[in-house]
Amino acid sequence: MTELSLAPFGRLAWIDVVLLAWFGLTALSVAYVAWDALRNNPELKVMKWGWVLVTLYLGPVGLVLYVLSCKEPYPGAHERFIQLLWKQGMGSTIHCVAGDATGIIVAAAITGALGLPMAVDLVIEYVAGFGFGLFIFQSLFMKDMMGGSYSAAVRHSLLPEWLSMNFMMAGMFPTMAILMMGRDMRAMEPTELVFWGTMSAAVIVGFIVAYPINLWMVDKGLKHGMGTARVLGKGGHTPEAEKARWQPNRGTQPQPATSGHSGHGGR
């Protein structure tokens, strides 16, 4: 323990001091990403908010990823800047984590406040994360490409979201279990700083584990990567071409984009 204290947490442990510094950096990171994404970046609207949410969970790591993969380096350069496949995979992972992690963290805070057993917590968090990711962040914002059909968007999003969610959970759940069931049992209490530090650490690990499958799905045409308001999807598709890939009368599975249209550039 330190000699420092802070209401309402009382006397602070050293981990609390570290977390306060981390949360301070997180606040600055979120402020910058929100300002740049909402004011300057021609990214799709859902992705603007996705970056803000993910930076809230990843802290400075989210800021670094945003600058390296999505921030427009100069006016008119966004489409070309995001063409590399690794950046497209990053966009897909951001879209996944923004929805899934939000559902998981909200559910974890509620179940933690209720004092439910860890096993029950994990089930509720899985359902909440999958539901919020599928029905809100994936399907709701994809329905325009389904001719306005929300049900079609759900059907097309189900498998990619399930795969992405499970990989993210494979990273998040063990991290949460180890940290929450370790020496500092305060990690199970939403009123403690270490609980939110645990959530941040779990999302970072989940992001790392989920990135490869998202990269693969973007490359195979199963998910979207980064885009702009002018170019929807994988950095080089027009909205009309992207809609054609997903219209029900074109088949139930999207076709992988050819190198001439995908805009992946180098890998």
Q: Are strands 5-6 and 10-11 parallel, antiparallel or unpaired?
A: antiparallel
Closest CA to 230 of 247, 220, 221, 242: 242
Angle made by CA atoms 77, 78, 83, in degrees to the nearest 5: 105
Q: What is the pLDDT of residue 103?
A: 94
Q: What is the pLDDT of residue 136?
A: 81
Q: What token pair was written down for 13? A: 């442990």
Question: Mapping DSSP to helix (H, G, I), strand (E, B) and coil, where does residue 236 land?
Answer: coil
CA atoms within 13 A on the CB side of 159: 10
Angle made by CA atoms 117, 120, 122, in degrees to the nearest 5: 110
Q: What Cα–Cα distance (Å) separates residue 204 from each residue in 59, 79, 201, 265?
A: 9, 27, 5, 27
Question: Mapping DSSP to helix (H, G, I), strand (E, B) and coil, where does residue 43 land?
Answer: strand
The model's pTM is: 0.83
Residues contacting 44, CB < 8 A, separation 6+: 227, 228, 229, 232
pLDDT tens for the chain, 267 residues long, are 676 767 776 778 888 899 999 999 999 999 999 999 999 999 888 889 999 999 999 999 999 999 999 999 999 899 889 989 999 999 999 989 999 999 999 999 999 999 888 889 889 999 999 998 888 877 776 666 656 677 877 887 888 889 999 999 999 999 998 998 877 888 889 999 999 999 999 999 999 999 999 999 999 888 878 877 665 544 334 445 555 554 544 444 454 543 333 333 344
In angstroms, rounded to a whole number, what is the distance separating the alpha carbons of residues 180 and 189?
A: 9
Helices 150-180 and 193-219 cross at an angle (nearest 10°) of 140
Q: What is the pLDDT of residue 238?
A: 46
Domain ranges for the chain: 74-262
Q: Where are the beta strands (DSSP E) in 4-53?
A: 5-6, 10-11
